[in-house]
Structure 1
């Protein structure tokens, strides 16, 4: 089967829309016709050569589409199902069986190796060159082969052009708060960085009942969006010292929780500093930068914690429908953060995401789709 895909042939190159051959379906696979896909900063990390993913490859991991065919061993899906894509997991290891598939023992192999579990590829160029996938599927394509664990069924009245980003960016931000930090009602939180992940964390904090929600960024336009989505206070850290301002807001106590989505070393240190005694800091950006601190003075004497959270510690098949329901209720207005692009304009969409002019670009693969 021939498909169209956005291929990165070498690290640092732009996306190239190419015709690829899709491999034959295996019994445990599902064929999905892609309707749309969000673009995530992880895709930009991949494009530049990060995470060790082999080239050539097809990125994308926030896809949404319609099931066209199912393998003989597939039990959970049927033709016509509307689905959102997320990460792959084995379902058998201790992490998976205790409700934490985001730290599956085989996570790296299933999501970053670029091949199926048996080592074969799903994508091939017309000359036979093997092309790697991402997250066990790749969503920057017109059709994809994937596994049941990658898919979450969603109601057909939800707009498939919109909801793909629930599979990663918005899941990561919201899940960090809901599943990772689990803030108590009336508590305080500061979110550093108001991109898709940060704003999702902030909206989740409001849903969880935090009474003080502080958004920190260097762009006034994004801080205005944060205020409209529930931030009780905003700080432009280019103009105002965030440590002083947080202390002012909290009467010198600091915040119970802090989340950093920037991955910038000094920003992460600031986020840790503003956490109150007994509080918790979650640095969740994919970053090569380090965080330096003194365990005695920065953690022990203050009884602070640093908590790592990957993919919001979410079970996609539970968290994605939960976020969709929050959206229906008007409590998770992620639709205000997106801009749509045609598939062919993927490089412009990527550039707009990197320069910050667009919070969440979404590529449309199937222009004929309608709700």
Structure 2
């Protein structure tokens, strides 16, 4: 019997329609290929991008197994995998080709084949990682599909972590928390001399806030409509919080408080909010577009105003992170007490995944994590 003949049984939450609840169904996985790893998923975070894809605002093939903040235990490794062994604890992140100019420059989040490797529902060669009754199931979402009890990931998006910290807590580092923190620590030249306005107090925005506080940047402003998130932002280091629905003009309110900012971070994916992010900048300021938006979302800018102020707009994916080095760095900051991302997390059992999704959509939970065991 060859490895290709071996089948591993798993339970996966399958999205069959944008308005339908996920259904828990049995699937099978083959043994990993040479550069792949088979993982028993212990927990998975739920990210805004999961919801965007679930509702087909960013189209993915249906039915599909979503989930891209997985953490688990290595069960089996491919023949070419050298730095992992069965029993290792790992966090899963986004996939990349490992060969294009961006990957060669250690910027895999801008991989030339990012969409195919993360959103196609299959490996880059079109083959699947999950089957049901002999037929392929769309999976390999972000190189993992972690809304399942087992997943296959490429070694490039598999990050070995210490066994001393609980995997269920580390799961969200693979996308949302990495994206927010990386925007400040990797993507933008933020120093203690700079001011920031963060539009959106979810997991990505609050992770950016914690990273900015870690650097010592100030003043820090968070724009967020939910009162409990504004309160948490203040506890995590924000100097000012603004309810956008309680003021007449968000831009003018920020200018009144701090005189404009050096960096603004758009975390919502809402075009009108992105426009506010641009308008609140000081001369030579930079607006970072981070939030996942619908595929057809656009904003209108005044070219002459951009020209005379020297303002910049940058798009940022995954916080410009190379996960295998950046995720361990975030864990180190956490262990030092300087990046308390655990304060964002709420836990749910795997069978309550649909309820956890609703909790995130309603704002009840900042970062829901489902535990498989």
* 2:271 paired residue number: 265
* 1:66 paired residue number: 73
Deviates more, 1:226-235 or 1:180-189: 180-189
CA deviation profile, 1:56-96 (whole Å, cap 9, x unmatched): 11000000001111111111211111100001112221111
User: Would you say 1:292 and 2:314 are equivalent positions?
Assistant: no
- 1:348 pairs with one of 352, 355, 370: 355
2:193 is paired with a residue of what secondary structure? coil
Q: Root-mean-square deviation (CA), in Å?
A: 1.3
Question: TM-score scaled by structure 1?
Answer: 0.95
2:269 is paired with a residue of what secondary structure? coil
* 1:222 paired residue number: 229
In structure 1, how many angstroms separate the alpha carbons of the residues matched to 2:359 and 2:124? Answer: 35
* 2:5 paired residue number: none
In structure 1, how many angstroms separate the alpha carbons of the residues matched to 2:350 and 2:27? Answer: 15
For the 8 Å contact 2:31–2:76, the answer to whether it is kept is no
- 1:249 pairs with one of 249, 252, 257: 257
* 1:204 paired residue number: 211
Deviates more, 1:343-352 or 1:14-23: 14-23
For the 8 Å contact 1:55–1:132, the answer to whether it is kept is no
For the 8 Å contact 2:199–2:224, the answer to whether it is kept is yes
- 1:185 pairs with one of 167, 176, 192: 192
In structure 2, how many angstroms separate the alpha carbons of the residues matched to 1:2 and 1:11? Answer: 26
Q: Shift in Å at residue 266 of structure 1? A: 1.8
Would the alpha carbon gap of residues 242 and 50 (structure 1) be closer, same or farther in structure 2, given more than 3 Å must change?
closer
In structure 1, how many angstroms separate the alpha carbons of the residues matched to 2:244 and 2:18? Answer: 33
Q: Shift in Å at residue 227 of structure 1? A: 0.2
2:333 is paired with a residue of what secondary structure? helix
For the 8 Å contact 2:10–2:148, the answer to whether it is kept is yes
Aligned length: 363
Q: Shift in Å at residue 32 of structure 1? A: 0.6
CA deviation profile, 1:181-204 (whole Å, cap 9, x unmatched): 121222100000100000011111
In structure 1, how many angstroms separate the alpha carbons of the residues matched to 2:320 and 2:40? Answer: 28
In structure 2, how many angstroms separate the alpha carbons of the residues matched to 1:62 and 1:25? Answer: 19
Question: TM-score scaled by structure 2?
Answer: 0.95
In structure 1, how many angstroms separate the alpha carbons of the residues matched to 2:117 and 2:366? Answer: 28
Q: Shift in Å at residue 209 of structure 1? A: 1.8
Unpaired runs of at least 5, structure 2 = 1-7
